[in-house]
């Protein structure tokens, strides 16, 4: 039986500085949002733009680098996989959240910097220090939040 493909690639701007947490085992977890824009024509034929917000979660060394260097407004390329997890809230209601588990993140620049988003190299590039999320990372039973 063929395996499916679960891959997400985004280029957008960071909506807020990463929020850092740690699992009981000490693994770093960073969450942040990325905005992407697209345009479409409405019923009257006028060009409209809409913004889609994506919740991103990174683990381990990738999370540590995000927490240290990633800031609101930066343009980033995120590659990862879509994951939905669930938990019971304080009232016993089942809650769900869909997020992108980042496998790699590249800094492209800051919002408003030279139209190409190159960023002029201000942000250190983590390079080989980026590690993919462990296969077991992000499983609902491993996350205390």
Residue 112: CB atoms within 10 A of its CB come to: 10
- Domain-embedded: residue 93: yes
- Domain-embedded: residue 28: yes
- Domain-embedded: residue 131: no
pTM, full prediction:
0.71
Determine the structural domain holding residue 30 and report its residue range.
8-40+49-120
Which string of DSSP letters, residue by residue, matches 115-144? Answer: HHH-GGG-SPP-GGG--PPPTTTT-GGG--
Separation in Å, CA 133 to CA 37, 40, 71, 120, 130: 27, 35, 21, 28, 9
How many CA atoms lie less than 13 Å away from 10 in the CB half-sphere?
28
pLDDT for residue 110 = 64
pLDDT for residue 130 = 40
pLDDT for residue 119 = 45
Q: How far apart are CA 66 and CA 20, in angstroms?
A: 9
- Domain-embedded: residue 135: no
Q: Report the CATH number that the domain containing residue 19 is assigned in CATH.
A: 2.40.50.140
- Domain-embedded: residue 88: yes
pLDDT for residue 28 = 96
Question: How many structural domains is the chain composed of?
Answer: 1
Q: pLDDT, tens digit, for every residue of 106-145?
A: 999 765 554 444 443 333 334 434 444 444 444 445 555 5
Q: How far apart are CA 106 and CA 122, in angstroms?
A: 13
Could you list the beta-strand ranges (E) of the chain: 8-14, 19-22, 28-41, 47-59, 74-88, 94-110
Q: How far apart are CA 134 and CA 81, in angstroms?
A: 13
The answer on pLDDT for 16 being more than 80 is yes
- Domain-embedded: residue 134: no
- Domain-embedded: residue 145: no
Residues with Cβ within 8 Å of residue 63, at least 6 apart in sequence:
18, 20, 27, 28, 29, 30
- Domain-embedded: residue 126: no
């Amino acid at each position: 039986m063929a395996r499916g493909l679960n891959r997400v690639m985004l280029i957008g701007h960071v909506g807020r500085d990463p929020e850092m947490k740690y699992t009981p085992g000490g693994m770093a977890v960073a969450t942040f949002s990325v905005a992407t824009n697209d345009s479409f024509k409405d019923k009257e034929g006028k060009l409209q733009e809409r913004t889609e917000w994506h919740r991103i979660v990174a683990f381990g060394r990738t999370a540590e680098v995000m927490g240290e260097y990633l800031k609101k407004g930066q343009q980033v390329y995120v590659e990862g996989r879509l994951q939905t997890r669930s938990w019971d809230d304080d009232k016993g209601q089942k809650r769900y959240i869909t997020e992108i588990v980042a496998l790699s993140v590249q800094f492209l620049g800051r919002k408003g910097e030279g139209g190409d988003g190159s960023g002029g190299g201000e942000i250190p590039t983590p390079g080989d220090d980026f590690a993919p999320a462990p296969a077991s990372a992000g499983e609902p039973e491993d996350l205390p939040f």
